[in-house]
Structure 1
Amino acid sequence: MGMLVAVITTVVDMQLSTGGMNWELIIAGLVVGSIIGIIMAVKVEMTGMPELVALFNGFGGAASALVALSETWKYIEDPTLTLPTGLTLQVIVVAAGLSALVGWMTLTGSLLAMFKLKGGVEILGKWFSTPTWGPSWLNPVKVLLTISVLALIVMSINDPTNTDYLWAIIGISCLLGIVLVLPIGGADMPVVVSLLNSLSGIAAAFTGFIISNPVLIVAGSLVGASGLILTFIMCKAMNRTLPDVLFKSFGGSTKETVTRTKVGSDPDEVAMMVDG
């Protein structure tokens, strides 16, 4: 609903400023999307609701990243267009890179989270179980991929018209989403879904900077902040920390020695317990 309000506000703002909107195409998109969403929400069982939420999170992040990409591409392909007030092409490219990092990582991570919650995926009538694979060397790979994306964003500042940087950012971000979620087990998946929900809001906020829309920035920031708060609350309830969830496959936050007290028993007590 929040994203719907943001979309409607953006469309109305563009109509008032330019007056050249294709309302038929916009309304058709809203109707088709609403019908698909209603059908999916009605058909899914309550036990499958986390999977649906994960899927919608991924779609939200991808939508924000696509809007950022299209707006940036527009200014790169046509240098004669007037940039939004107070923005330069370098700022737009940086915001698009950050939106791509968060948005595409959210999409691939959410899809993998959905398959993990479902237990697998059926392809051509054959069922494939979703693996949980996380060797120790995978954590440095996550850090390396993140640094690579940030380096590409910095490099794009010096050459903002080079679209190769954007495509490389998109590819690495998609891989990062898979690598990030792959080692995480099913018990921690609700925390991951909550975190991905937060990331989808952050991607929307970055996109709001590109189109100079305060409503989208505020809405995305609210979703991002509330999602992070919920994520930390869930981690605390599970006696885990967020780094443990993201960088450790299984186990608690710390290695503690469990002290067990030996309790004596005799055959009569055991017989009473068995008899109920």
Structure 2
Amino acid sequence: MLGQGFVSAASIAASVLFILSLGGLSNQEKAKRAVWYGIVGMAVAVFFTAFGPGIGGYWWMIPMMIIGAVAGWHVAKRVAMTEMPQLVAALHSFVGLAAVFVAWNADLERRRVLAAQALEAGQQEFSAFAALVATKAPDELMFLQLEVVFAIFIGAVTFTGSVIAFGKLAGKVDGKSRQLPGGHMLNAGAAVLCLVLAIAYVSGAGFWTLLVLAALSFFIGWHLIMGIGGADMPVVVSMLNSYSGWAAAAIGFTLSNDLLIVTGALVGSSGAILSYIMCKAMNRNFVSVILGGFGAVQGVSAEIEGEQVAIDAGGVAAALNDADSVIIVPGYGMAVAQAQNAVSELVRKLRSAGKEVRFGIHPVAGRLPGHMNVLLAEARVPYDIVLEMDEINDDFPETDVVIVIGSNDIVNPAAEEDPGSPIAGMPVLKVWEAKQVFVSKRGQGTGYSGIENPLFFKENTRMFYGDARASVDSLLHLID
């Protein structure tokens, strides 16, 4: 058993490591070290919390920790990079459900303490948390009840919302926006009922209020995310990340655990900031997205004229051999095909031939921010030629060839040209301004959001159909 002094010192150390981890993730070169800061910080946090004062039940807690660690290791090793967003959503659901269970248990312990005090029983059999509750004044117990309510509400919303986000990202749930009759009014009505139940609970109603509150919150999370379309899923995952952080912070207050409060606040605030940045990058209203697209107005998309013209590897290679400047725009299709290493080899050959080659990265390329950056870093693409959208968008008119690999919505000119498009106003990479555009794509289907792309029908665009990795591999021996 460790003393409280050791636990407090460990909490400070873990908090510092978490802050260093978040700060380091903003730079690709420091990201690996930042991840290790987070790993060490979490190991310190778990160890000193588990063996701190007032903790017992090691005969079942330690085996469960081992089982969880082994399961987490096994799942993480099996999950491909393309499935990382789904894994993140699944992990968020665990945090939310844990918050609900801990909050329920906290109220049961509170009731147990009050019953024992009413019977003037001793405290010798109290758990560490129950003993803490026994020392609280009436007004402090009311705050404890408010913490329980908040943890259940945000935790339950996070759980079902994350489950639906996982389903949409994994293709197990339709990515289109779908709601029950009544739409947002159902969410509003459920939220009002949650408030009524919270007031009843604080006023002395039974444990049943927390059960009904959780059920309504589960519904809100499910219905809220079902009402958000696939194009906004990257924002949703980030938003749920924030929710899971606030749920953890609420439980931290309930358990009087400073480390949980700090960690939850870090996750909650950073997730909220990231969600706001992503909404800005996609020209989405932040409040509208987190409320399931409430108030969104969508017109009728313009009809697209023309046809998609295909080209073979020889034609693409000839254009690359004649080009002086090339920009590559990667997307989720590149990740699915695991084509990053073939792309890296293509870049090496083109640069060896004296050509200027750069990458244009949209803030929401892939399924999570930084998805493409991680893949390219994994394939050892130099950091200095990987540029963000704002850094490269003005260079397309002077570019000879653009190769789009598995991207759709982030290069869709309808965002600027069609006011009725679902993505109208969304900042996109203006690849159509280049002299020639080649789109590597499996077939003629639409992108993840289900929106047709006028780029594919433009005169300076040619469709390079096929698996991205096989297509890029076919170019390698044709490049001079």
Is the TM-score greater than 0.5?
yes
1:19-40 CA distance string (max 9 Å, x none)? x612232221111111111111
Deviation at 1:149, TM superposition (A): 1.0
Name the CA shift for 1:239/1:137 in 2 (closer, same or farther; >3 Å): same
Deviation at 1:6, TM superposition (A): 4.5
Aligned-partner residue type, residue 75 of structure 2: M
**Of residues 176, 180, 189 in structure 1, which corresponds to 2:224?**
180
Asked whether the equivalents of residues 185 and 250 of structure 1 are also in contact (C-alpha less than 8 Å), the reply is no
**Of residues 143, 151, 160 in structure 1, which corresponds to 2:188?**
143
Deviation at 1:73, TM superposition (A): 1.0
TM-score (norm 1): 0.80
Corresponding residue for residue 205 of structure 1: 249
Larger Rg: 2
Asked whether the equivalents of residues 175 and 230 of structure 2 are also in contact (C-alpha less than 8 Å), the reply is no
Name the CA shift for 1:248/1:259 in 2 (closer, same or farther; >3 Å): closer
Distance 1:23 1:209 in 2: 24
Alignment of 1:1-276 (within 5 A): 1=39, 5-13=44-52, 16=53, 18=54, 21-79=56-114, 80=116, 81-82=130-131, 83=133, 85-86=135-136, 88-120=140-172, 129=174, 132-134=177-179, 137-159=182-204, 162-245=206-289, 246-248=291-293
1:37-94 CA distance string (max 9 Å, x none)? 1111111111111111000001011112211211221221342354165454332222
Asked whether the equivalents of residues 109 and 178 of structure 1 are also in contact (C-alpha less than 8 Å), the reply is yes
SS at match of 2:51: helix
SS at match of 2:194: helix
Deviation at 1:244, TM superposition (A): 2.7
SS at match of 1:120: coil
1:225-246 CA distance string (max 9 Å, x none)? 0110010011111111122323
TM-score (norm 2): 0.48
Distance 1:33 1:152 in 2: 34
Identity of aligned residues (%): 34
In structure 1, stretches of 5+ residues that fail to align are: 122-128, 261-271
Asked whether the equivalents of residues 235 and 242 of structure 1 are also in contact (C-alpha less than 8 Å), the reply is yes
Aligned-partner residue type, residue 54 of structure 1: A
Identify, as 1 or 2, the structure richer in helix: 1
- Aligned length, in residue pairs: 252
Distance 1:233 1:193 in 2: 13
Aligned-partner residue type, residue 282 of structure 2: M
Q: Could you say what the CA RMSD is over the residues aligned between the two structures, in angstroms?
A: 3.1
In structure 2, stretches of 5+ residues that fail to align are: 1-38, 117-129, 301-414, 420-458, 463-480
SS at match of 2:177: coil
Aligned-partner residue type, residue 61 of structure 2: I
Name the CA shift for 1:118/1:91 in 2 (closer, same or farther; >3 Å): same
Aligned-partner residue type, residue 148 of structure 2: A
Distance 1:170 1:105 in 2: 9
1:139-162 CA distance string (max 9 Å, x none)? 1221221122122112211105x1
Name the CA shift for 1:12/1:39 in 2 (closer, same or farther; >3 Å): same
1:172-206 CA distance string (max 9 Å, x none)? 01001011101111110111111111111101111
